[in-house]
Amino acid sequence: MAFPLGTRTVHKVGIIGSGQIGPDIALHMTKAMQPAGVPVVVVDVSEKALAAGKSKLEKKIDKGVETQAFKPEFGAAMKANTTFTSDYGQLKGADLVIEAASEDLPIKRKIFQQLEASLAPDAILASNSSHMEPELIFGECARKGRTAVIHYFFPAERNPLVEIVPGRETDPALAGWLMGFYEEIGKIPIRVGSRYGYAMDPIFEGVFHAACRIVEEGLGTVKQVDEIVRRALRQGVGPFTAMNLTGGNPLTHVGLQHYKDKLYGWYAPTKLMESQIESGKPWDGVQRGEKVEVPAEAEGRIKDRILGAYFGIVGEILDSGISNVADLELGVQTGLVMAPPFGLMNEVGVAHALDLVKRYAKDHKGFPVPKCIERQAAAGKPFEVPVVIREDREGIAVLTIRRPAVLNALNREVYEQLDRHVQAIEKDPAVKGAVITGYGRKAFVSGADVAMLASVKTPADGEATSRHSHAVLNRIEKSGKPFVCAYNGMAFGGGNELALACHARIAAKGLKVLAGQPEPNLGIIPGAGGTQRLPRVIPFAKAWEMLRTGKTISSAEAKQLGLISEEVDADRLVARAVELAAKANFKPIDRGPLALPPEPPHVELGHLSKAVDKVMQKAILEGLRMGLDKGLEFESKCFGEVCGLEDMKIGMENFIKNGPRAKAQFVHK
């Protein structure tokens, strides 16, 4: 069996090291690889470590079965798929080997020397180092082009983030393949330039270091600072508690010493840190459920201190050029689970953020004031955090909606960035067409962001929200350049309406759930063109049922109905969409009035709101008789009307409190 992806095929995966993180990497890998029949082999020289690692992996699988995260048969299959051994010979035939043994350079180099001698010349050699530069780790390797750092985050089987860090001699094609591979197997990879600590650890360890300094300066106790930093950065736990959980004191101490030498002097370890390591005791962090009292004045000083440090640390990383605003924002939010830094700076005001950094730098020798924050404050504008990423391929602009934490849901920022990209594409003579897709493999776009929908309070708000989305999607549909939708996963609500505005659509093969208009479950109707475009793209009877019931269709059904023209292997999806956009041979949507059956098919509503359905039927039937442009205007009015119903409030409250699967108790008014 094998796992083919692009130019490479994975037949076996190796993990070197059965210590703290190796078994967790193995668990993630076997979860992803077992369905393809690709074995995972964990190698360690210590039989004790192997036994402990195997026990750790199996306990986590058993817990997953107990919580119904895994079916029992899949849990058993994952265990059987993973081998723990001291025999390096069992790595024969591995196409990807990840070293997770030790942050010890001689040991790493010895491991890779042994792997180079025993593996195929094109096998990928990777290190899960958390700090060391790839040029240092792989300095003695004969084939540096096949090497890279792949930095997992705690806990490796659940934390979605990985940093892909190529060295100067890493083959660019390999770095690109690794990005695609990790996205394919459910991680969120960000590409980072080579520098000690990469992008994320200087933030995690820097926030901890700043917290230590705050305690040393007498602004609060360890427990108080732990709690205030947690609140200020909106974390689940504070920095001292996080250090206890990760067992990172010794490694962080070494990291801080190297940051001091390789980045800037502020990182020099504190005496508090050194004394804690000497004691061997955990930090006195905040316990679960514990309430910590902090005087308001002290809380304000601690908050200002930590924000000044946080913004300065992140800004310096951006200034260094090893990462960008979009990746730093995404990485911090998903991997470190902190308030996204640039969004937080925008929230407090960039000028105020700069003032906090300057005040912090004044009191702390060796701390930088980032140029990027100075420039943004001088411009008098907030940071733009890209959530729609453009990459041009052979004259075709590929737009990827990247909000994985909310399955790429549409909010006003997504719409505005889409609109700016579409306008730029129309004006760019080098671009012949465009592809719109989503990030990851789960969702193209899961729908409208709940926060955006929850902000709709009145019929006027509803109509305005609908009109705003129409303006963007109409620009796509009326563009003189072809737009192809590449459904990489499910598309619900506004996501499917975005797809319908494109000139052609294709989907990843074998999706059991591809598209749906679930608005009736929320007590609303489609407001981004669904009532008017869906019946013009697929047969009326099926569109009528989908719109009124919220029922979904698979990719196979979508092809039968004409919603998509092709099902494509997932790893070829965007490439095929690029090919289609270059051909630009698409039948335009029928913009005139639609001939309707004299008696629309009967539909069973079940628990759904009859009041909402009445507006839905009106929007569909009357709108379709008007022609597309006027029908869309009518849909906006109907969307506003439904936002005044009691059932809309019931549906939204139920969705927010109980999730999408819980049925709302509609009152039909």
Look at residue 545 and give its three-state secondary structure.
Answer: helix
Q: Decide: 343 and 328 in contact? Cβ < 8 Å.
A: no
Residue 163 designated active-site: no
Separation CA 237–CA 242 (nearest Å): 6
Q: Helix, strand or coil for residue 193?
A: coil
How far does Cα 475 stand from its chain's mean position? 27
Strand partners, 564: none
Q: Which one of the listed residues 163, 497, 545, 567 is annotated catalytic? A: 497
CA angle 215-220-225, nearest 5°?
75
Three-state DSSP string of 474-529: HHHHCCCCCEEEEECCEEECHHHHHHHHCCEEEEECCCCCCEECCHHHHCCCCCCC
For residue 503, what are the contacts with CB-CB under 8 A and spacing of at least 6?
477, 482, 483, 484, 586, 588
CB 562 within 8 A of CB 586: no
For residue 57, the one-letter residue type is L
Active site residue 217: no
SS3 at position 141: coil
Q: Choose among 241, 221, 343: nearest CA to 285.
A: 241
Q: H-helix or E-strand containing 3? A: strand 3-5
Backbone angles phi, psi at 84, to 5 degrees: -110, 125
Residues found in the chain:
669
* Token code pair at residue 394: 């052979």
CA 308-225-341 angle, to 5 degrees, is 35
Catalytic residue among 133, 477, 519, 635: 519
Q: How many CB atoms lie within 10 A of CB 403?
A: 23
3-class secondary structure, 175: helix
- In 3D space, the residue among 511, 508, 513 whose CA is nearest the CA of residue 574 turns out to be 508
Q: What is the Cβ-side half-sphere exposure of residue 353, based on CA atoms within 13 angstroms? A: 29
Kindly list the catalytic residues: 497, 519
